[in-house]
């Protein structure tokens, strides 16, 4: 019964307005070119659509050029990040009739709990989101003092998450990412629940170094 219900849900997703037949066709073609195979659609946002592959990665098809450039830069990093999502392959889609222009193959994260989401958005989003001074503020005792003056369960969670949040900010600073769309819907845990990971770097402002690196292209 459970298996039939899951299949029913997947059929609903594939036939919904969120993922059109064209979307699925493009995703499958791109995945094949990358040696991957689409397992199922995951989610859709303002700029892109994400799919899980059979290897456990995520293929994102996006119209966000800024996210593409950041992913392209970070994919060249030999020292793999722990708190920013790891990118395996990025490139351009060549088409005359498809709105999404870029593809990104990256790690998949595990979802946050409701309490973790609420805590991040209540305590940390205002401190970090689109704030050029996020590094100074997240380490400023006065800025985070409200963590210690709230409901017991939430306070405990806020204190538990604090070192993970600091690690994310440290990696953002290391890669010269000045601002970021920092909220719980763009975050998750790595596969071992050892690190909190920021997986959507669209909407970021960073110092993109000039690059002569050839852009991978897939005709769809």
Residues belonging to the chain: 220
Residue 8 reports pLDDT greater than 80: no
How many domains does the chain fold into?
Answer: 2
Main-chain phi, psi angles of 177, to 5 degrees: -85, 115
The upper half-sphere exposure of residue 185, i.e. CA atoms within 13 Å in the direction of its Cβ, equals 6
Q: Are residues 23 and 103 in the same domain?
A: yes
Q: Are residues 149 and 78 in the same domain?
A: no
Q: Are residues 11 and 100 in the same domain?
A: yes
pLDDT in tens, 64-88: 888 888 888 888 775 668 999 999 9
Mean per-residue pLDDT for 41-59?
91
CA distance 31 to 151: 46
Boundary-marking domain end, from 47, 73, 108: 108
Domain enclosing residue 163, as ranges:
114-198
Has residue 207 been placed in a domain? no
Q: Are residues 100 and 121 in the same domain?
A: no
Q: Are residues 20 and 94 in the same domain?
A: yes
Average pLDDT across the chain, whole number: 85
Q: Are residues 98 and 194 in the same domain?
A: no
Structure tokens at 128: 């970090």
Mean per-residue pLDDT for 131-155?
79
Residue 9 reports pLDDT greater than 90: no
Boundary-marking domain end, from 82, 108, 134: 108
Q: Are residues 13 and 96 in the same domain?
A: yes
pLDDT in the model for residue 79? 65
Q: Are residues 15 and 70 in the same domain?
A: yes
Could you tell me what percent of the chain has a pLDDT over 90? Answer: 49
Task: Give me the CATH number covering residue 27.
Answer: 3.30.200.20
Q: Are residues 121 and 89 in the same domain?
A: no
Could you tell me what percent of the chain has a pLDDT over 70? Answer: 83
Q: Are residues 126 and 93 in the same domain?
A: no
pLDDT in tens, 87-98: 999 999 998 889
Q: Are residues 83 and 32 in the same domain?
A: yes
User: Sorting pLDDT into bands at 50, 70 and 90, what band is 45?
Assistant: confident
pLDDT in the model for residue 15? 47
Q: Are residues 134 and 52 in the same domain?
A: no
The residue ranking higher by pLDDT, 11 or 153, is: 153
Write out the chain in H/E/C secondary structure: CHHHHHHHHHHHHHCCCCCCHHHHHHHHHHHHHCCCCEEEEEEECCCEEEEEECCCCEEEEECCHHHHHHHHHHHCCCCCCCCECCEEEEEEEECCCCCCCEEEEECCCECCCHHHHHHHHHHHHHHHCCCCCHHHHHCCCCCCHHHHCCCHHHHHHHHHHHHHHHHHHHHHHHCCEEECCCCHHHEEECCCCCCEEECCCCCCEECCCCCCCCCEEEEC
């Amino acid at each position: 019964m459970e298996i039939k219900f899951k299949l029913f849900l997947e059929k609903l997703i594939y036939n919904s307005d969120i993922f059109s037949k064209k979307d699925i066709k493009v995703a499958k073609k791109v995945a094949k070119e990358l040696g991957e195979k689409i397992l199922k659609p995951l989610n859709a946002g303002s700029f892109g659509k994400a799919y899980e592959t059979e290897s456990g990665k995520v293929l994102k098809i996006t119209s966000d050029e800024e996210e593409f450039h950041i992913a392209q830069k970070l994919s060249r990093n030999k020292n793999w990040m722990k708190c920013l999502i790891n990118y395996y392959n990025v490139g351009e889609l060549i088409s005359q009739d498809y709105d999404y222009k870029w593809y990104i193959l990256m790690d998949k994260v595990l979802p946050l709990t409701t309490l973790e989401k609420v805590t991040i958005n209540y305590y940390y989003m205002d401190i970090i989101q689109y704030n050029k001074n996020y590094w100074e503020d997240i380490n400023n005792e006065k800025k985070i003092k409200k963590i210690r003056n709230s409901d017991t369960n939430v306070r405990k969670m806020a204190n538990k998450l604090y070192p993970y949040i600091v690690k994310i900010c440290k990696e953002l600073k290391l890669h010269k990412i000045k601002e970021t769309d920092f909220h719980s819907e763009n975050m998750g845990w790595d596969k071992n629940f050892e690190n909190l990971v920021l997986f959507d770097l669209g909407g970021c402002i960073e110092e993109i170094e000039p690059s002569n690196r050839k852009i991978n292209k897939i005709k769809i």
